[in-house]
Structure 1
């Protein structure tokens, strides 16, 4: 329609940024915060400091903002702060947006050659440091409690992705990076290990079957799995004004498998039909096979086709991949475990890389094929039983984060913490669930006096 003004969906509703940095004591409006629940839920997400330059601004490219929910003695407080990356500092100095996210050709000349990291995707605790992470830069250290920006952690010597895995037995942080090297959007991948003291003890590079957005990966006790799926990256395409990242369903999906103590030259590539995975739940070894539970899409959501046309809507469902290390076939066997659309899977991470029983995720009972999630689900992988708590009135929820009641508690005995957006009031609540009785609804609700924008990941730091 002539004269129609297109509103970018990532700048509207609860995707829209909030630009104030606040400190609130929250009012508990339902139930009681468990006395034994002590620590902080740290969450992060994109929150552009200024109006984006690119009219096709993508949610993945906004400035990182940390949200901290501190819980102690049945009381809860909230604090949020921008991650003051070099990008944030440069734009703050000039009072406007300078970088253009996935469309670098639209960046201001002032930004050319400058660091464009946003630290907006995940926030993890390792070796006594709180680290804000994203796809293309080094970890950025945040001071616990104050949320003060402390700067990049230099020993990583290059980009690190946002989804490291913590080994509960060794204390190691195992990580990877994609698109590494001098050429943007390259097909090179790094595999890295940081020991329990915070020292980077390994970084090895290898070539993938093609360049792709490799959002997450899987780690078992002895193996690492690298998924390379046809959400491809192409500098040549970007230089022609076409999407830098695009869905190319004619390409197969691959999973590279390597022993954690082996050389990257030993990687064996398994394959399956075109599909996409943003997030696995967990992976483990069983009888000479690797088992990986993943949220699988038929096609990558949120991204266009290679010619710039809009891609199909697609929702993820929990699937199990089996990779037979002793067999002659490199084909991945696939079994669907559940039929509820969902994302942001979590589990009891004391069992990371090992066999496990309990998982949780944010679900979409409306089957809208979007990232707007209106429920929290628990699945018992032994019985196959799923229980769900569904929000009403258009309310939507973040990734649920599991916290055990104690270090020695049985698997799955603990709490889920999450943040809900209350659509009618346009504000948010902090929620606590009994992890074993999700369907009963939250056992405690604390009111945030304004909204917390939709974000990506969070983690609980105890004490």
Structure 2
């Protein structure tokens, strides 16, 4: 392989927990079984015309150099200083071929920096071995989440196809670009240059680490890895400096696709939708089938022992994201779930967007208030309101708090153009809607001195073909954005981000 040398990083203080040592070959086999099996090739989508398509075009391989962002509305709050890091798929086309699924594209990490000199933006691709090899070859080589290219290359482990394209996490003096099926990738926060894969401990090279960790009030990072093909869940306790404190494998769990979990003061709560891995044909997504007649399951895991203490069932539903959980005095656990009626968001919508097609109607997530009682009962109620990408004040992890979501203002809208606030009971307490042709991204919570949060995130203005960065006051959401900047260029629509204060 040509280009810059890609090395792998080890933690500074590897954990000595005996549970961490594992058979790496087994996980490579279970995570990647059949990815390049002799199955029919998936056809590449043809990019269709339409204003939405500009947000799903590929960024240039060289990325975006640091440039000033123009403040187009409002004013910047005094003392607002720091960096908003954001990750998402950004290489959708190469060599005349186009990926079939939004989640296939190679990850680009963006840095929106706010300081005394104003606001700037820059973006760089995460230079994984996959990205480097395909850039030099001028074509897609490796299978991805939803697409198998022509003449796919051989795979020796999950990180051979690591796209590093879902989320980003601040760990010690690094930024980690997170995928779902393999290692985190370390980046330098000052220039977004790639340093290499992070191996958390002995025997954990290339083992799945979630793209949706939870950070406790003391900075401890709780995460998981999902080995859906084998029905195993991998649990991680990671210290703020990136060293592994505890690791354990849980067996005999549903063979479900899991993106997120939630966390209370004492427990980790993991949900398993009836979207189950059942075959070895086609791309990874094609292994899964939806079973609407089966229950959605939740397991409650003790943080100290990593043991399952209770199990629950709810009616079928597909969930990407959960809002933070908290416990009541009697042991009742409450949290919010952004629930789809089925898995069409994965099987249909996120494929259709690559052709410029979007859908109105009821195929979007609604907010569910979930209650898990100590006696084993589980109840989920909903007001039918749209909700996705929930965030909350990070200082209140494990406690009841206001949460913020994006969603459709009306069912007939085809984009999620509205930001909502919900109190701990799940009631909507405020909202603000952009134009109907705007796709609002996740808005992360930035703690304010004295309490409360700012919310910062991107908006894709499809009508004008531009990317905006908007800042809201969480205590006055309905007043609209406090400040809005325009990015120097239109950015591929991203996924998850994080804020690092100055």
CA distance in 1, matches of 2:379, 2:426: 21
Matched, 1:164 2:218: no
Give deviations 1:413-437, integer Å, cap 9, x for gaps: 2311111122232111111111111
Separation of aligned partners in 2, 1:103 and 1:445: 35
State the 1:277 CA deviation: 1.1
What do residues 117-157 of structure 1 show as CA deviations (whole Å, max 9, x unaligned)? 01111111123321111111111111112011111111251
| 1:213 counterpart (249, 253, 257) | 257
The answer on whether the counterparts of 2:417 and 2:433 sit within 8 Å (CA) in structure 1 is yes
Tell me how far apart the structure 1 counterparts of residues 285 and 426 of structure 2 sit (CA, whole Å).
Answer: 47
Which of residues 277, 281, 295 is equivalent to 2:338? 295
- The answer to whether the 8 A contact 1:247-1:303 is kept is no
CA RMSD between the two structures = 2.8
CA shift, 1:368, in A, is: 4.5
Aligned partner of 1:73 in structure 2 is 116
Task: Within 5 Å, give how 1:338-417 maps onto structure 2.
Answer: 338-356=383-401, 358-368=402-412, 372-381=415-424, 384-392=427-435, 394-406=437-449, 409-410=450-451, 413-417=452-456
- Post-superposition CA distance 1:257-307 (Å, at most 9, x none): 12111253x4432111111111111101112111121112221232339xx
1:191 and 1:418 map into 2 onto residues whose CA distance is 29
Q: Tell me, what secondary structure is at the counterpart of 2:286?
A: coil
Q: Distance in 2 between matches of 1:201 and 1:50?
A: 40
Asked if 1:177 is matched to 2:219, the reply is no
User: 1:14 maps to what in 2?
Assistant: 55
Query: How far is the alpha carbon of 1:446 from its aligned partner?
Result: 1.3
Is the aligned partner of 1:148 residue 2:190? no
Match of 1:135 among 158, 173, 180: 180
Query: Offset at 1:6?
Result: 5.2
* In structure 1, C-alpha distance between the alignment counterparts of 2:103 and 2:211, rounded to whole Å: 12
Q: Distance in 2 between matches of 1:316 and 1:71?
A: 32
Cα gap change, 1:291/1:242 in structure 2, threshold over 3 Å: closer, same or farther?
closer
1:286-343 superposed Cα distances (whole Å, 9 cap, x missing partner) = 12111121112221232339xx9xx996221221211112x1xx3411122x432121
- Structure 1 residues 216, 30: closer, same or farther in 2, change over 3 A? same
Instruction: Report the count of equivalent residues.
Output: 439
Q: Which residue of 2 aligns with 1:442?
A: 481
Q: Is the 8 A contact 1:300 1:314 kept in 2?
A: no
- Cα distance, 1:112 vs. partner? 3.2
| Contact 2:233–2:253 (CA under 8 A) maintained in structure 1 | no
Would the alpha carbon gap of residues 124 and 349 (structure 1) be closer, same or farther in structure 2, given more than 3 Å must change?
Answer: same
CA distance in 2, matches of 1:218, 1:108: 40
SS in 1 for 2:236: strand
Is the contact between residue 51 and residue 97 of structure 1 (CA under 8 Å) also seen in structure 2? yes
The answer as to whether partners of 2:468 and 2:484 remain within 8 angstroms in 1 is yes
Decide which of 255, 266, 276 is 2:318's aligned counterpart: 276
Consecutive unaligned residues of structure 1, counting only runs of 5 or more, are none
Deviation string, structure 1 residues 26-56 (Cα, Å, up to 9, x no partner) = 1112222123110011111101264389866
Alpha-carbon separation, structure 1, partners of 2:48 and 2:128: 25
Q: Which one has more relative contact order, counting CA pairs under 8 Å at least 6 apart? A: 2
2:34 maps to: none
CA distance in 1, matches of 2:232, 2:95: 29
Residues 8 and 57, structure 1, Cα contact 8 Å, conserved in 2: no
Unaligned runs of 5+ in 2: 1-44, 352-358
Of residues 211-220 and 418-427 in structure 1, the stretch that sits farther from structure 2 once superposed is 418-427
Give, in angstroms, the shift of residue 462 of structure 1: 0.4
1:332 and 2:365 equivalent?
no
